Amino acid sequence: MNKSKTEKAPSFCACMAMRMASRTITKIYDQALKPSGIKVTQFSILMNIKTHGPVNISTLAKLQHLDRTTLVRNLKPLEIAKLLESVPSNNPRERQVHITDHGLKTIKIALPYWKTIQRKISNKLNLEQLNLLESFANSLEDVVASEDEAISR
């Protein structure tokens, strides 16, 4: 309490704070979405595909700022559950992922639950904080970019 500044053993880690917050909020959303049978990550994928029509996997990964190979794995359970389909396209080296009727139905079920928890969270954290979250992520992207430059240089 009486340490002036700049000293202090390192304890607070921005990354771990972020991860902690991520874990916590994920648990909240997953809990809220439970009646729909899908998790928030899956809900997000379905919404993205619904919005951006049939897309190939790489594009979808970029949309979600997600590693492509991660997305490939994440699609698996959704395909098995018949919530979406991935079919070969004209270009034989790419596959088009599109949502099924079952997927649309599931979204319709999940949406009210999502809205409710989204509202609850938005009340708890004010809007500035939420917007800040986006700018936060964007700022971080910048850091990544500059790191990449440093490497390729």
Partner DNA sequence: CTGCGATACGTGTACATACACGCTTTAGGG
Partner DNA sequence: CCCTAAAGCGTGTATGTACACGTATCGCAG
Binding test (CB under 8 A) with a second copy, winner from 37, 69, 88, 130: 130
- Restricted to residues 38-57, the positions that interact with DNA (CB under 7 A) are 39, 41-42, 56-57
Residue 137 binding a second copy, by CB under 8 A: yes
Distances (CA, A) of 58 to 39, 55, 88, 122, 132: 22, 8, 14, 31, 27
Residues 102 to 121 in contact with a second copy, rule: CB under 8 A: 111, 114-115, 118, 120-121
CB of 20 to DNA, least distance (A): 8
**Under rule CB under 8 A, which residues in 61-80 are in contact with a second copy?**
64-66
Q: Which residues make up the interface to a second copy (CB under 8 A)? A: 9-29, 31, 40-41, 44, 47, 51, 64-66, 111, 114-115, 118, 120-122, 124-125, 129-130, 132-134, 136-137, 139-144, 147
